[in-house]
Structure 1
């Protein structure tokens, strides 16, 4: 740059600096005057003359000498002096725009314009001789602005062209990609597999199935998965991973044009360097530490920590601390050592024992019956598992739409540093009435329709009235049942049944009235019990047709039967309606006496056993056996409906109902005094459907003990549709070594497995 230009710039800048310095000096003086309230105002003349007094320096101040940036002489010389004429000029009003324009034109043309003269140089302010600026004063170059708008009919309007359907183009615009994860291979193969499994199950790229609408969508999924990788690694103890993501556009042979790449450097894996539990003492002392399954030195794995805390939250209420709360954990990480100090606050609360019961809400029954359902007594140590058990028992009654059970503090001491808690039950009774129905079909038995109407709490607590009816091809009837569940004791049921039936089978035809009472402990879908029992009494009056060999004809006879019944069961299966493992045993004994042609006492007995063995997740092998005997009376003295028969859907499939056993001269069954049966099934399930292959065998005999001779076999295949109330069953079977009069195929439709 030429030196002269540098100097000129320096000179002009100096003027600016000087003016700015002056302004700053004036501001500083004014601010000092404002900051010193009570001091006299500055003298204007002194201010103008530059003789403003300088405040004294503080004692001991030693300020260095500073040369002025601009000497006073040079600064004063640059400022023009002001005289009286200048003061008069400053006091004059500003000139008008017209005068200013004329003066400016005179300066440019060298001649002063006169009044009314055209504006020189096309100046718009003087074009019309008016000092006021208007649109018409614009120069010629802006004439378009003042021109009138053309009429509407002069506009040329082109029709709008609508775009054609671009669905095919968008479809063609889809991009394909593949996903590549680098650096996620760890030395620990189990952890490595777990990380990859978590990523694959949650990945946006994976869920996209290698297709996206455009590259931007691939990029968005890539960013989302990058954050997912960080979260997955953090859940396993890698808190400082380096994750880089990119889209690789280099095409792979026989592959998609894009590759979404996530490069991972896991970094250091953090481990527990210390475990601190902040809690009051417990009884026993190691209750929290023994259940907090964490060890110093193991990796900081989120699922393990959450599981350990959940175990503590369970263990404390199970051991007498109903009000214990696990607080928010804190983990202090040390990046230098790779360790983390884990701190867990726990509020233990008081140790408690059971006190009484209280209930509120829309009640189905009172607190006294709640106590019947509980498996604990007053004074026992609190255990949350028993509270859960009580809640399930309340749900199993079927009387509530909602139910809750919770402990409440009483503040009453119970000794040994404990206090009583009240078990509070909040009830909301549901609709007590239900209507249910079922239908089935079996070869030799025909169609069967059954319906029930139930009021589950007509006689509180849990006193149900049940009306039931059956309308079938070969059986019709109706009856009424009173049932009280949890009768004075948990899981005990008392019921009285009165019914009338008409049966018309090939084996017999009967009109029967029955009155029975029974006390039982049975399994339910919610409460499957290991031990079950039933005992009771029954009275029957029945008029039945039976073949009389002495008369060579069927005659109707009347029997009056009274007897006792006792049943004992043992169940080790995993499901009541659809077992897949375990076994069951059931024994039934019924001492009876028949009044027909005299009094004839006898005993009916039967034993059933079944077992289930799983082979993999979808295949189950199942088998059953049954033995029965009647001791103490001849067959003729036993009512036909009380004899043993084989054949049918619940017995030996492939044969008609009651078709196996002794026959009369007409080929109709007459029943026997013993039986034996066996069955084997292979059950394969896929989703909500299943296929079953089976072989059944059995026979009934005139003798009192089964002879295991002349066994008949049936084979078949079945289909299953699994529902939440049990499987629907359809079986088709055929007899082996079929005899004259036996059907080639037999069909059975019902609810539940065959056994």
Structure 2
């Protein structure tokens, strides 16, 4: 009986299922009709290292070798693609008479077919490179620009140099950039002619440039505002009416508007029907299209560590309180959940207000206030805090802050219950060249702080806190997949006696933002019960390698440091070291972080390990 007759005799409701089962069994039990094609690739002929490297990097035969080929036809197809691709690589280096020949075994591509390639051996693929002479630039002519304008350009090409085509594109980019900077927004290369002389092995370059009109900036027309004051937006424009167009000022204006955090879309342009081909100076209105974000926002965040418990943070905010980008944010935090008793969970309510562009450009006015009830192993604290300050952006990288603070706190530690009332004048300077605040891949950040305090209530007359924190990031492979990140922190408190320093102002080390693998605040001076006392100085360092594939990351790290009961770090006391590995899941709002740390030079009081869960990188 045939299989088809067997199926036919089955009841109708079972026929589809039985057909599917027999179909699967057929493919499981049928031997493979093809064998993977294996091969190795060898380049011959080129002695120029940078050319050879580019050929290898551009070759699919080389780069895709780990992907199996099922048929010999696939190998031939891949080789033919390489022949075309690598010919273009030769030309990109100025070798216009060069040839690329591909051999599979002893047969060239022109003489080979899929039937002549056996499937049961490892094939040798030879790519024979014959560069030939390297062509040189000869005549370079630019039409449409005044000779005096050309003389001011540092041309990226010159007669006698290798005729690399990308250098012609560099020349065009230079011309258009310089035209833009001189007030010509409609400059364009209308014609490009590259003429090759195969007898002289030279290339002539001819560019025809249209400079268009020189543009003066007219009236600023603002569209799309709903709650933001148009007069305030106009005041932020970094140019005066009648100035010549400058692309940098346009870019700076858009960056300044984005920094207000009020707009989701910003478009700056001239009108669509502007006379782009005019040859005289014209005045054009500048049109600014804006789209506002929702004014009010809410959010929440969660952190957890096995030795400091959980933290829940919620906040509410307003992005445009009075119509000029004023921001208000109120944050409530519950922490040490699962560590403290329920009624002793740490509670903080914090409010912050920011008035941008206060009194002058790039200067913000800040108001902060908070109420806190905290219990740590080192101290318990009830406090009210307030501050007024200014933040000034001196350059895109350099900023400074100055504020006046007032704080009244009741602190209980191993010295008993004390009340402190302090006035402070914290000053800070920051130089930040990081490419991203939440997940940097390159750049550095340095912050130095000086915070003198005057004690009005409590022991002593006052104290001064000095601090320096540096962070650095290096993209090892230049593709974002391996970031080497480092952090260094040092601090010192100048005071008559340690007892005159409020416990919350002292230095502590250990924990997720410090030395991973150790309990929170457990590195440094301890009392007889192994509770932290706080310290007068601190030194910490961290190094980690952030490896990333897609949305998944693995981060081996090492941290070290200590807190000292002397005004300056006493390196003779040594460091406590922690090491471990972290895991990251990258999302649109930042990486989710899980770090597992182990104490390297473990003390009897230390746990075997600690883990930390949070949002964002560790530093």
Q: Check the 8 A contact 1:271/1:340 in 2, yes or no.
A: yes
Q: Is the 8 A contact 1:573 1:584 kept in 2?
A: no
RMSD: 4.5
Contact 2:46 2:129 in 1 (8 A): no
> Aligned match of 1:721 in 563, 584, 597?
584
Structure 2 gaps, min length 5: 9-18, 102-108, 337-344
Match of 1:200 in 2: 60
- Please say if residues 363 and 391 of structure 2, whose CA atoms lie closer than 8 Å, have aligned partners that are also in contact: yes
User: Is it true that 1:569 corresponds to 2:430 in the alignment?
Assistant: yes
1:503 Cα shift? 0.4
**Higher normalized strand content (fraction of residues):** 2
Q: Among 617, 622, 644, which residue is 2:486 paired with?
A: 622
In structure 2, the residue matched to 1:107 is none
Larger RCO (alpha carbons 8 Å, 6+ apart): 2
Partner Cα separation in structure 1 for residue 352 and residue 237 of structure 2: 27
Cα distance, 1:332–1:729 mapped onto 2, change above 3 Å:
same
Identify which of 61, 66, 69 aligns with 1:210.
69
Cα distance in 2 for partners of 1:611, 1:562 equals 30
The partner residue of 2:401 within 521, 534, 537 is: 534
> Is contact 2:183-2:216 (8 Å) kept?
yes
Q: Distance in 1 between matches of 2:135 and 2:568?
A: 74
Separation (CA, whole Å) in 1 of partners of 2:130 and 2:209: 37
- Decide whether the 8 Å contact of 1:363 with 1:427 is kept in 2: no
Kindly provide the CA deviation profile for residues 498-545 of structure 1, in whole angstroms up to 9, marking residues without a partner as x.
32221011222222222222222479xxxx953222111223233332
Counterparts in 2 of 1:32-43, with a 5 A limit?
none
Deviation at 1:397, TM superposition (A): 3.2
| Residues 40 and 122, structure 2, Cα contact 8 Å, conserved in 1 | no
- Post-superposition offset of 1:346: 0.8
Instruction: Give the corresponding residue for 1:498.
Output: 369
Q: Does 1:294 align with 2:160?
A: no
Q: Give the Cα separation in 2 of the matches to 1:669 and 1:268.
A: 75
Asked if structure 2 preserves the Cα contact closer than 8 Å seen for 1:448 and 1:470, the reply is yes
Separation in structure 1 between the aligned mates of residue 6 and residue 600 of structure 2, nearest angstrom: 80
Q: Structure 1 residues 282, 422: closer, same or farther in 2, change over 3 A?
A: farther
Query: Paired residue for 1:691, among 555, 561, 570?
Result: 555
Give the structure 1 partner of residue 121 of structure 2: 255
Provide closer, same or farther for how the CA distance between residues 225 and 609 of structure 1 changes in structure 2, counting only shifts above 3 A.
Answer: closer
Deviation at 1:239, TM superposition (A): 7.2
Question: In 2, Cα distance between the equivalents of 1:322 and 1:470?
Answer: 51
Aligned to 1:308, what secondary structure does the other structure show? Answer: helix
Where does residue 606 of structure 1 map in the other structure?
466
Report if the CA contact (8 A) 1:320-1:383 is conserved: yes
C-alpha spacing 1:211/1:743, structure 2 compared with 1 (3 Å): closer
The match for 1:324 among 187, 192, 206 is 187
Distance apart, 1:279 and its partner CA: 0.7
| Partner SS state of residue 467, structure 2 | strand
Q: Counterparts of 2:224 and 2:62 in 1: how far apart (Å)? A: 44
User: In structure 2, what is the Cα distance between the partners aligned to 1:375 and 1:176?
Assistant: 64
Q: Greater helix share, 1 or 2?
A: 1
1:454 aligns to what SS in structure 2? strand
Q: Hey, what does 1:83 align to over in structure 2?
A: none
Judged with a 3 Å threshold, the aligned counterparts in structure 2 of structure 1 residues 398 and 167 are, in CA distance, closer, same or farther, namely: farther
1:645-701 deviations in Å (ceiling 9; x for gaps)? 4443334445433345555565534435x1222334353635452333424231242
Return closer, same or farther for 1:453/1:341 CA change in 2, 3 Å cut-off.
same
- Structure 1 residue runs without a partner (length 5+): 1-157, 549-553
Alignment partners' CA distance in 2, 1:175 and 1:665: 73
What is residue 507 of structure 1 aligned with on the other side? 378
TM-score, with normalisation over the residues of structure 1? Answer: 0.64
1:226 to partner: Cα distance: 5.6
Q: Classify 1:580/1:497 alpha carbon distance in 2 versus 1 (closer, same or farther; 3 Å).
A: same
| Cα distance in 2 for residues equivalent to 1:398 and 1:201 | 49
Give the 3-state SS of the residue equivalent to 2:426 in structure 1.
strand
Deviations 1:205-226 (A, max 9, x none): 97974333x85x6776666556
The normalised TM-score by structure 2 is: 0.76
For the residues of structure 2 that align with 1:340 and 1:712, how far apart are their CA atoms?
64
SS of residue paired to 2:191: coil
User: Does residue 1:736 correspond to 2:601, yes or no?
Assistant: yes
Would you say the 8 A contact 2:399–2:431 is kept in 1? yes
Matched, 1:455 2:318: yes
Distance 1:601 1:460 in 2: 44
